[in-house]
Structure 1
């Protein structure tokens, strides 16, 4: 067989300009669209309700990978065995996590991203994609008023963005206090004195990051909150003094704009000023709350966000992008030099002189997806106003749902909602004889959540509040209606009687 004939045989598997390739691509895309519509979009349940054992059995039987089928047949089988048994994020009663239904523009962008397979680490692997990402980064720097020297990079999510913020905070502190380059010399002898000040409601990735950075759990100082679950500057100052009196070195203040459970936003303006006065790197985890900048009604709650040294924003939450899509921003692009590394084969220093932009020097990843396209396409197609209205509608539903729950006699709120999460629990009016009331209440709430999931009726969240079991609605879907919440409360009451 000649080389040409071999290539003609192979092009059936790849996307090229040959007739057989284009035919196979269209057939695969048609089959995929059918599966997404019939096995996902129009399903009437939030989850199929199949048990783990049943799914394991079905998948094991078809995972030997010994017999080949036509790709459309494989896609059809996957639709029936896998897609139908995924969590349906588009369903109005899928309200457990910060897990959004993606906008159609984002889904369309994903097709382009996957097909073109650009790698964002160097210009000669992405070309126009590099410019689009930098354009989107610059645009968001302006939206958050971070100044002329601001810069950023797309990341895989809030955890990676938080990691980068504290990585730079650590290296900046070593440079400023000890004239020490961690990139060259490793951790300074004084690193065991570094302390990161955050709140009790901070995302778990703050502690995880401290471990990965070689600072350990001991470096994370979690501050108590007020009755509204806000971190206060007065408490920051109190703990800062106590730490320095012990001979320790606070290096960063982390505030959260939209905590995972309660969605609370601490006073960023006052905390930003506090951080400046104390010489602390100010990192704000706005993975959730950063979207409020698009809302005319609610953007005032982000006052002070312009004071950050670094900022986390997730687009795959209230910006309604498909996973993954997040951005990490800093107020001074020179800070990226703390982690900059050039490789001759990838991003030689000569690239800059030749006008070739390389984004890899700003990232802890090498290979990265062209996720900026999703945000770019969404803003081009729908604009800020539509996104703002979607966010506002979800927040309004959250307030209405909380009022509905608060007006009942058998459900109780933990705290009034702040953005789009409601923490509450069912509290039976009668406790069986011989049962502890709180423990019985915990048991009932645990059962409610599991039965709803196992029967596919709804996917709702769970958390602990004051040591007790609570349920959580995370309202991400603008298609969810108050009537969905009303019917869900009825279902929960029925389950409590089982």
Structure 2
């Protein structure tokens, strides 16, 4: 039986199958009472292992029944108000509509002759985002798979644009990237992929608010120059993964201009501020960047994946350009045929821009920005709650929507034991399925983390999760005391 869309009969099969699937997922979403079932790897793996992929079920309903057993029933549901772990967001309905359309049509955004209007829609959204950032009339960009790819491409452009050292040459082992100790791990990963030396990334200390210390950055840039090294790039973070902190962008821009370094802003998390009706000023200085990473699938409430890299000077994207006669021959440039593959590290690429397009056309930028404002307001309320709760130590007051904290029992003073209690509480909470929180380290100690990206989450949800954490931690400490005696 042919399953692709060729005629009226298969079109009707498509309608029926998709409707059946949507109804099944919708029912599961409504029925979900917790963010996770608590299923273990050992319990779930055998269900999947016993499936023979060479024996198709041949029926949509049967496949959906099986999917409930091996996936839907035990999925981690980001839309649940007590999922407060990683930078995952519930998705807005217009974006889900866009996802359904782009998957069915299946355009590939590498060349014009595979996408037509899709290319122009992506370009329009790139221009819109660059305008929101303030990059100027020569700006351009391309959609990517996520922040890691955007950061990699940005640093590739920075490497190729790096100014020669004192001897007039640029050697990879002399290039240096400066990023705060709170920057995303993809900075180090990108440096390795780009063939830079093991000392290529210089970690700059942060202040009490977890923002890059520009005095320290200036000192490191001076040392770089003094040692005959080349300051290839400075990566400023606008929304660190753990703390949501925003580096001092205007001061970093001044230092980049003085030392001739490429300024990249990783705004994968903080890009929601571009649409915020009240908090846009937090990104002041981003308009001076040479490149910017944005992840719409974080703070624009889009399905994965929906991200982009923006650059101040479109000409810089030439470093990702290669021509193939069977795809994008050089003559197409003269013919002004818009091929997005000329700007991208990817070739075949989904029309992920459509999700953002449908969202903006239904909700508008203010509608998206108001949702992000709501989670930032909730984080501020959560901060006040934690600061007033003697059971918890909270690290910094949030700028965006993350809270890093840990349970600190009054009767226990051993930091290692408190670490173990917090690790246990997180693991036990996940196993229960009642809530999902993240974990990290601060000052060498284990902490827990709320990442708030669900406007449906309330202060009452946060209070309930804090009580659950305390209960699990107390249970661990009680059992630990029993073992010791």
| TM-score range normalised by the length of the shorter chain | over 0.9
Distance 1:253 1:33 in 2: 45
Corresponding residue of 1:306? 287
Corresponding residue of 1:454? 431
TM-score normalized with structure 2 length: 0.95
Distance 1:439 1:424, change over 3 A: same
Corresponding residue of 2:276? 295
Would the aligned equivalents of 1:285 and 1:313 in 2 still touch at CA under 8 Å? yes
Corresponding residue of 1:477? 454
Q: Secondary structure at the match of 1:460?
A: strand
Corresponding residue of 1:60? 49
Corresponding residue of 2:239? 258
1:79-118 equivalences in 2 (<5 Å): 79-118=68-107
Distance 2:446 2:238 in 1: 24
Match of 2:371 among 378, 383, 390: 390
Distance 1:126 1:16 in 2: 19
1:256 deviates by 0.1
Would the aligned equivalents of 1:252 and 1:283 in 2 still touch at CA under 8 Å? yes
Match of 1:490 among 461, 467, 474: 467
Distance 1:257 1:152 in 2: 18
Q: Secondary structure at the match of 1:258?
A: coil
Would the aligned equivalents of 2:406 and 2:446 in 1 still touch at CA under 8 Å? yes
Q: Secondary structure at the match of 2:323?
A: coil
Distance 1:72 1:316, change over 3 A: same
Corresponding residue of 1:49? 38
Question: In the alignment, does 2:140 pair up with 1:151?
Answer: yes
TM-score normalized with structure 1 length: 0.93
Would the aligned equivalents of 2:244 and 2:401 in 1 still touch at CA under 8 Å? yes
Match of 1:15 among 5, 8, 11: 5
Distance 1:74 1:68 in 2: 6
Corresponding residue of 2:59? 70
Corresponding residue of 1:171? 160
Distance 1:486 1:173, change over 3 A: same
Corresponding residue of 1:337? 318
Distance 1:150 1:177 in 2: 30
Corresponding residue of 1:213? 194
Residue-by-residue CA offset, 1:414-473 (whole Å, 9 max, x unaligned): 111120000000011112xxxx61111111101111111111101100000111110000
1:175 deviates by 7.1
Residue-by-residue CA offset, 1:148-172 (whole Å, 9 max, x unaligned): 1000000000000000110000001
Would the aligned equivalents of 1:154 and 1:326 in 2 still touch at CA under 8 Å? yes
Q: What residue ranges of structure 1 are gaps of 5+ in the alignment?
A: 1-9, 181-187
Corresponding residue of 2:220? 239
1:298-447 equivalences in 2 (<5 Å): 298-431=279-412, 437-447=414-424
1:22 deviates by 2.1
Distance 1:79 1:163 in 2: 37
Distance 1:167 1:74 in 2: 43
Distance 1:39 1:178, change over 3 A: farther
Residue-by-residue CA offset, 1:229-259 (whole Å, 9 max, x unaligned): 1113322211111122222111111100000
Q: Secondary structure at the match of 1:316?
A: helix
Corresponding residue of 2:480? none
Residue-by-residue CA offset, 1:202-251 (whole Å, 9 max, x unaligned): 10000000000000331000011112211133222111111222221111
Residue-by-residue CA offset, 1:132-162 (whole Å, 9 max, x unaligned): 1011111111111101100000000000000
1:132-151 equivalences in 2 (<5 Å): 132-151=121-140
Distance 1:136 1:108 in 2: 17
Question: In the alignment, does 2:30 pair up with 1:24?
Answer: no
Distance 1:120 1:178 in 2: 42
1:63 deviates by 4.1
- Equivalent residue pairs, number: 475
Distance 2:185 2:469 in 1: 30
Distance 1:197 1:148 in 2: 28
Q: Secondary structure at the match of 2:202?
A: strand
Corresponding residue of 1:274? 255
Would the aligned equivalents of 1:27 and 1:72 in 2 still touch at CA under 8 Å? no
Displaced runs of 4 or more, over 4 A: 174-180
Would the aligned equivalents of 2:166 and 2:228 in 1 still touch at CA under 8 Å? no
